[in-house]
Structure 1
Amino acid sequence: MAAEDAKSFVRRDTLRKIEEKIQNLWEEHDVYMAESREKPPEPGEKFFGNFPFPYMNGFLHLGHAFSLSKLEFSARYHRLRGANVLLPFGFHGTGMPIKASADKIAQEIQQFGHPPVFPSNKEEQGNHQEAEDANSGAPTDNKFKGKKSKATSKSSGQAYQWEIMRSLGLSDNEITKFCEASEWLNFFPPMAMEDLKAFGLGCDWSRSFITTDRNPYFDKFVGWQMRKLKDMDKVVKAKRYAIYSPLDGQPCADHDRATGEGVQPQEYTIIKMEVVAPFPSKLGVLEGRKVFLAAATLRPETMYGQTNAWVLPNGRYGAFEVNETDVFILTQRAALNLAYQGFSKVPEKTSCLIELAGYDLIGLPLKSPLARHQIIYALPMLTIITDKGTGIVTSVPGDAPDDYMALHDLKSKPAFREKYGVKDEWVMPFEIIPIINIPEFGDKAAEKVCGDLKIKSQNEKEKLAEAKRLTYLKGFTEGTLLVGEFAGRRVQEAKPWIRSKLMEAGSAIMYSEPEKPVVSRSGDDCVVAQTEQWYIPYGEEEWKKLAEECLSSMNLYSDVTRHGFEHTLIWLNQWACSRSFGLGTRIPWDEKYLVESLSDSTIYMAYYTIAHHYTTETCMEIPEHLGLT
């Protein structure tokens, strides 16, 4: 049996010897160097194929080989036709993943020793993570820990960077070297090159390069690109909302995210609903301050129709200092976002005076801007989601189906009121206030659509979602305002004016948070911060028009591809092109910033055409590590 097994590999081994012999001949005769080809039969026939240069924080994998095989096939086809083919290959190190991973290794040595001894079971890991969260001031809710765990083990199934490196075949002594970000660029690019040669890639290796300032020529090339854009007024500095990692201390661009690619900041208006003194005993420590329930809304123009505020009875809230006099009651998550937007007594840190439950807020008397009633009350709503907005919701039952049904439940169910200690006078006097007239739905749209869909309770989530779908967009685009100084105007026209008036009066502030959860590659739950950054204004009308004209002239193989370009041109507006953490090229005129990793990758394909003229020692020799050569 053993002899048969040995014999069964003869053909394979023979083919591998032939493959190795031919690959050596290719390399010896520079078969794939674009300049070495004879003049093609059709003068000027050329083919340039490019593969997005892979990031060098690990080995290449089967997915790289699968995608690369398409380019390899195409290049060989054109070469056989006699074309002068250029197929180069580079290696990317710009950005934060390498630096973040290097820092993780250093942190793991500090926390668990050298070599580190990690917790032996998931419970201990959970305790460690909870302690880490507590030390950093991060939320300790289980759902946040789950996200963090997924982020740190996204590609490997392992929670610790050290274990990931061990799984690559590295010894503990070798892993120690990877505390330095430079070691990643010493080790992985030459290993990737060796694998690609074994794969048989028909590549012009004379043009290979790595990014970052380790390669002074590519570094200068990126600097030149940025200076050209700056000279054309295509790079501007401004304060903007950006998805931001508190742990990394910088904006978290798509390339830096473990989850949440494509997620943008969502802008709200926070309505300051002032709590009327005297305060209940639970809020006694806040006496002498101006205390507000801070309600986030996308529709400030509807505030004329407020009847009450909503809180989640078992929700977790806090009273957070905004400045010396003002205190906002809202969720910890929202307070953290506000802290990075300039609304916290201590910049970029929350200052919680007391922790509160939603039950503590029920019945609070409030003065709310634009409300017809002098006093409205905080009431219980069971469907509030506290990981969106602030956890405090304004109630406009004339316009919002959710508000209409929640108020209907309280009015029609005495037992429900009794359960949450709601007094009749907090609810019963308040009737629907018509504020917007919507074609097909009239001036009490929420009541009509809930009746049409036969909705009986605030718990019928699917029906209420449909009711909102039917009325929300139509009300904004076609509705006419019935009240206030902008009565008679279309809602979408009046909204920015009303928001500006509220802010000028000090009754509201702007607030932003990620549309959906975003976790950075360092495992951090991201917020939205107002940051001063360098931006590329891709959405500029003239520039955008040129891009659209260019796209229309392109011969693409698929409508899907064309639609992908069109979609990007629609949403791409201001792109943050600077960062303060990671590897890369310094902004030439502002060296405290680095060029963001995708912004140094926009024209690197052009660098391949000149890369062979600018060679440098880039550590592309295979290291002698554990026989990995």
Structure 2
Amino acid sequence: MADTDSGRSFKRRDQLLEMEHEVRKWWDESQVFNAEAKDQPAKQGEKFFGTFPFPYMNGYLHLGHAFSLSKLEFAAAFHRLRGANVLLPFGFHCTGMPIKASADKLRREIEKFGNPPVFPSVETEVVNEPEPESKPSDGSNPEKFKGKKSKVVSKTGRETYQWEIMRGYGLSDAEIATFQDPVQWLRFFPPLAVEDLKAFGLGADWRRSFITTDINPFFDKFVRWHMRKLKSKNKIIKDLRYTIYSPLDGQPCADHDRASGEGVIPQEYTLIKMEVVPPFPPKFAHIEGKKVYLAAATLRPETMYGQTNSWVLPDGKYGAFEINETEVFILTERAARNLAYQNLSRVPEKPTCLVELTGQDLIGLPCRSPLSFNDIIYCLPMLSVLTDKGTGIVTSVPSDSPDDYMALQDLKAKAPFRAKFGVKDEWVLPFEVIPIISHPEFGDKSAEKICNDMKIKSQNEREKLDAAKKVIYKGGFYEGTMIAGEYAGMRVQDAKTLIKQKLLELNQAVVYSEPEKKVMSRSGDECVVALTDQWYITYGEETWLEKAKGCLANMNLYSDETRHGFEHTLSWLNQWACSRSFGLGTRIPWDEQFLVESLSDSTIYMAYYAVCHLLQKGDLFGADTSTVKPEQLTDDVWDYLFLSGSEPKSSDIDLTLLKKMFQYWYPLDVRVSGKDLIQNHLTFCIYNHTAIFPEEHWPRGFRCNGHIMLNSEKMSKSTGNFRTLKQAIEEFSADATRFSLADAGDGMDDANFVFETANAAILRLTKERVWMEEVLAAESALRTYADRVFANEINFAIKMTEKEYMFREALKSGFYDLQAARDEYRFSCGSSGMNRDLMWRFMDIQTRLIAPICPHYSEYIWRKLLKKDGFVIKAGWPEAENPDLTLQKANRYLQESITNF
């Protein structure tokens, strides 16, 4: 094969591809990766069971998937090489909204642009945030339809539509049209993913693959058992809760349903009702006779005693929204939309705006605000008010807020500034700081004190003010004491809850919640927080939390940063909505109007891997029911298999082998994942295992990694800096891709896949093969000192590689350093030639040490050049004498002396 591109030869890469194809045929013929349980429970180190969170199947696998997966693949190959019985299964996730959303996009594009669609050449609509590359995606970003969707615009201004993405997969227009049916995605992408992963050399037992959703009746039965088991243990309840919610989808929007905003949770505020005092200005004529309130969102209701005014953004857009028959709230449309989904709108889920307003219309409004020592306060302008956070109405407490203090001082000191916005002197000048909290470091006027200490001169010094606010708020809340109001003398953190409760009981405030950051659903609309009647998993419940912490304490997490991530997640994770109205998945067995949410059906499926190949007969979809019928898998059967329950009397399935397989493979030794899943899936995995399984079956380890960059830049479809797994293999070969993935990095920081490293690997591997062929064809002599030095370096390589097989260091010691020692040895030998026996040992050792990372290359060398029996991937870790450190130091001294001479 002599393909060229711009004069560049691909002969060496094609040699690797041909080798890889031949090696995979050997593996397939021998089914070398199929894992069988032994008759007796496995002893420590005898077996290795590792898994990877199954990828979402709305597109091709990409290098982001391959990077995380490579950490499991290298570890599994290392344990297999050392003689462990290794199980590496691989399934495919199809539950939830992404596939449904993509199918719906195609349908809408057909409705709007025809079949096949003819798209406009230029787009000028607003672009929203792109989809994070750390999550499996369909190659598209959220798109915008009729003002309700976000869209991605290319560098030429041309939108990428879902239909065009599908064309990029090599599909005809007639084929693409079939993808309006979500089931077509399930049948198309998983088999392609299997092909790509086999080409990658993944050492998976493919008999154990499956797809989720109720299209697979066996997995559906397993999920139903799982959910019923949780409910029987009171881990699932139905209740009203504040939940991130997609109005367009009409259901909660969990992490995997989001195009952006993964990990965002509801932020709860106290909404202070600041009553506007009549007479109203002319623009308010339409709402005369109603109670009108400026609705200010605050996280610090205990500070309301010190209010001197309220703030609005002068050019901000506001409205007077009807809350009920008698009350009107003035706030932003965005906040009103959230309230409408929290039973705070006269028309549920539809905010009703009676009057459109600007911030300028509100300046000077007199208000009576709850708890304020000032009978009347006024609405004033502040240029830093955010209208995409809270309600756009802000209460001012200059005693404890550096922002409020400096803004009030600016208005007092600058008459032209007051005149610009029509602010009268009597609205500002009479109002002074009211001490309400004693701060341990800054006294009872903490904002004034810290602003003076930091020499802050105006409200525009944002960095200084942000720093001052952190100091004041933290010290005031955790260490401060109330000196005003009926709770004077009480610690602030104790008084807060009491004051909030009092405001709510007196109807002077309401609870308001919104997403802590912007969340976009995969369907393309901005999410709200809704008060929904849903099924919830009770994560965070005290007793359950303690069990989860106990499990975590005994797990191998490979880094302190990973452990801190889990500890932080356990500190805040609370009830999780586990039901959905539509999408793909398994029905909640006791309430079949709902589906199980996509992150809730995938927390203990590692147990299913242990037995599924004997249930499904190796079919992804569970279509073969000739041996076992899904309806035979009752809860008693699952209890017997996984929980040592009584042997079911009603079942005619032979369960003995299934039970032995589970007991042999469990517990899970390691689960490898990107760090973004710590905040949901991986912590859910801990919780669910502790709820369902006995302690001896709790997971033993999680290994988390960062995201991957390509050539030091973020991997992104929109910029073209992107590679699918298939593209990478075609461009570099599987082993050179794996080589570069191992070199990219091992920690929680983002890693870097460098094309130059992959190309260099092609050259190194092919040159090494040629060199070995030449050496094996030649005769050689015998020396003493140089042989001893080189043999010693081989021993060092064996010991260091075994110690550091995580994985960049393994590449260094087992390949780079070993080759450097070989090159030095070759130079030392000169024209007299190298010791043939020693070179045989070198080639044997190097081939084994690099096998987990470059298995195709190693297997080819093992069989074709070294003429060894069996497979190198199971050849056993090479034995080594204890390295002689003195000899190594002596040689280094000698080499340095020669160089100096």
- Compute the TM-score of the two structures, normalised by the length of structure 1: 0.91
Structure 1 residues 425 and 33 mapped into 2: Cα distance closer, same or farther (>3 Å)?
A: same
2:222 and 2:302 map into 1 onto residues whose CA distance is: 50
Aligned to 2:285: 284
Q: CA deviation at 1:110?
A: 0.8
Task: String of CA shifts for 1:119-157, please: whole Å, max 9, x gaps.
Answer: 21122788xx88822xx5xxxxxxxx8xx335x999xx9
Structure 1 residues 362 and 37 mapped into 2: Cα distance closer, same or farther (>3 Å)?
A: same
2:361 and 2:43 map into 1 onto residues whose CA distance is: 82
Q: CA deviation at 1:482?
A: 1.7
1:30 and 1:398 map into 2 onto residues whose CA distance is: 74
Q: CA deviation at 1:374?
A: 2.1
Q: CA deviation at 1:581?
A: 2.3
Task: Kindly report structure 1 stretches of 4+ aligned residues shifted beyond 3 Å.
Answer: 1-19, 36-44, 616-621
Aligned to 2:571: 570
Structure 1 residues 385 and 15 mapped into 2: Cα distance closer, same or farther (>3 Å)?
A: closer
Q: Which moved more, 1:576-585 or 1:356-365?
A: 576-585
Structure 1 residues 2 and 209 mapped into 2: Cα distance closer, same or farther (>3 Å)?
A: closer
Q: Does 1:132 align with 2:146?
A: yes
Structure 1 residues 264 and 463 mapped into 2: Cα distance closer, same or farther (>3 Å)?
A: same
Aligned to 1:408: 409
2:403 and 2:558 map into 1 onto residues whose CA distance is: 47
Aligned to 2:872: none
Task: String of CA shifts for 1:587-608, please: whole Å, max 9, x gaps.
Answer: 1111111111111111111111
Aligned to 1:275: 276
Q: CA deviation at 1:620?
A: 9.7
Structure 1 residues 449 and 76 mapped into 2: Cα distance closer, same or farther (>3 Å)?
A: closer
Matches within 5 A, 1:298-377: 298-377=299-378
Task: String of CA shifts for 1:417-476, please: whole Å, max 9, x gaps.
Answer: 111111111112222211111122121111111111222211111221122122111111
Aligned to 1:141: none
Matches within 5 A, 1:324-473: 324-473=325-474
Structure 1 residues 275 and 15 mapped into 2: Cα distance closer, same or farther (>3 Å)?
A: closer
1:400 and 1:125 map into 2 onto residues whose CA distance is: 35
Task: Judge conservation of contact 2:89–2:208 (CA < 8 Å) in 1.
Answer: yes
Q: CA deviation at 1:104?
A: 0.8
Q: Which moved more, 1:507-516 or 1:194-203?
A: 194-203
1:521 and 1:191 map into 2 onto residues whose CA distance is: 23
Aligned to 1:493: 494
2:359 and 2:51 map into 1 onto residues whose CA distance is: 56
Aligned to 1:142: none
Task: Judge conservation of contact 2:245–2:251 (CA < 8 Å) in 1.
Answer: yes
Return the letter of the residue paired with 2:146: E
Task: Judge conservation of contact 1:30–1:36 (CA < 8 Å) in 2.
Answer: no
Return the letter of the residue paired with 1:284: A
Task: Judge conservation of contact 1:275–1:367 (CA < 8 Å) in 2.
Answer: yes
Taking only aligned residues, the RMSD between alpha carbons, in angstroms, comes to: 2.8
Matches within 5 A, 1:61-210: 61-123=62-124, 132-133=146-147, 148-149=150-151, 159-210=160-211
Q: CA deviation at 1:540?
A: 1.5
Q: Which moved more, 1:495-504 or 1:33-42?
A: 33-42
Q: CA deviation at 1:182?
A: 0.2
1:4 and 1:111 map into 2 onto residues whose CA distance is: 43
Q: CA deviation at 1:15?
A: 4.9
2:353 and 2:9 map into 1 onto residues whose CA distance is: 71
Task: String of CA shifts for 1:167-218, please: whole Å, max 9, x gaps.
Answer: 1111111111110100000101111111222222222111111110010000
Q: CA deviation at 1:274?
A: 1.1
Return the letter of the residue paired with 1:404: Y
Report the secondary structure of 1:149's partner residue: coil
Q: Does 1:550 align with 2:551?
A: yes
Count residues in correspondence: 605
Structure 1 residues 131 and 364 mapped into 2: Cα distance closer, same or farther (>3 Å)?
A: farther
1:131 and 1:359 map into 2 onto residues whose CA distance is: 33
Structure 1 residues 208 and 4 mapped into 2: Cα distance closer, same or farther (>3 Å)?
A: closer
2:377 and 2:10 map into 1 onto residues whose CA distance is: 83
1:168 and 1:476 map into 2 onto residues whose CA distance is: 56
Aligned to 2:245: 244
Aligned to 2:482: 481
- Compute the TM-score of the two structures, normalised by the length of structure 2: 0.64
Task: Judge conservation of contact 2:411–2:418 (CA < 8 Å) in 1.
Answer: yes
Q: CA deviation at 1:43?
A: 9.7
Aligned to 2:503: 502
Return the letter of the residue paired with 1:420: F
1:103 and 1:498 map into 2 onto residues whose CA distance is: 48
Task: String of CA shifts for 1:49-80, please: whole Å, max 9, x gaps.
Answer: 21221111011122333333332333233223
Return the letter of the residue paired with 1:376: I
Return the letter of the residue paired with 2:23: I
Aligned to 1:294: 295
1:537 and 1:198 map into 2 onto residues whose CA distance is: 42
Q: CA deviation at 1:413?
A: 1.4
Q: CA deviation at 1:7?
A: 13
Structure 1 residues 436 and 7 mapped into 2: Cα distance closer, same or farther (>3 Å)?
A: closer
Aligned to 1:581: 582
Return the letter of the residue paired with 2:107: A
1:399 and 1:36 map into 2 onto residues whose CA distance is: 65
Q: For the pair shown, which has the larger CA radius of gyration, 1 or 2?
A: 2
1:443 and 1:465 map into 2 onto residues whose CA distance is: 20
Q: CA deviation at 1:503?
A: 1.0
Structure 1 residues 445 and 7 mapped into 2: Cα distance closer, same or farther (>3 Å)?
A: closer
Q: Alignment identity in percent?
A: 68
Task: Judge conservation of contact 1:50–1:71 (CA < 8 Å) in 2.
Answer: yes
Report the secondary structure of 1:168's partner residue: coil
2:177 and 2:205 map into 1 onto residues whose CA distance is: 34
Task: Judge conservation of contact 2:218–2:622 (CA < 8 Å) in 1.
Answer: no
Aligned to 2:861: none
1:543 and 1:124 map into 2 onto residues whose CA distance is: 48
Task: Judge conservation of contact 1:293–1:330 (CA < 8 Å) in 2.
Answer: yes
1:427 and 1:439 map into 2 onto residues whose CA distance is: 29
Task: String of CA shifts for 1:258-308, please: whole Å, max 9, x gaps.
Answer: 211211111111111111112111111111111111111111111111111
Q: Does 1:53 align with 2:54?
A: yes
Task: Judge conservation of contact 1:40–1:83 (CA < 8 Å) in 2.
Answer: no
Task: String of CA shifts for 1:376-427, please: whole Å, max 9, x gaps.
Answer: 1111111111111111111111221111111111111111111111111111
Task: Judge conservation of contact 1:214–1:618 (CA < 8 Å) in 2.
Answer: no
Report the secondary structure of 2:351's partner residue: coil
Task: String of CA shifts for 1:514-568, please: whole Å, max 9, x gaps.
Answer: 1111112222211111111111122122111122222222344332332232222
2:306 and 2:4 map into 1 onto residues whose CA distance is: 85
Report the secondary structure of 1:241's partner residue: strand
1:31 and 1:520 map into 2 onto residues whose CA distance is: 43
Task: String of CA shifts for 1:233-267, please: whole Å, max 9, x gaps.
Answer: 11111111111111111111112222112111111
Aligned to 1:220: 221
Q: Which moved more, 1:182-191 or 1:7-16?
A: 7-16
Task: Judge conservation of contact 1:31–1:37 (CA < 8 Å) in 2.
Answer: no
2:498 and 2:511 map into 1 onto residues whose CA distance is: 14
Report the secondary structure of 1:319's partner residue: strand
Aligned to 1:140: none
Task: Judge conservation of contact 1:481–1:487 (CA < 8 Å) in 2.
Answer: yes
Q: CA deviation at 1:40?
A: 13
Task: Judge conservation of contact 1:189–1:620 (CA < 8 Å) in 2.
Answer: no
2:554 and 2:296 map into 1 onto residues whose CA distance is: 49
2:112 and 2:502 map into 1 onto residues whose CA distance is: 52
1:22 and 1:482 map into 2 onto residues whose CA distance is: 78
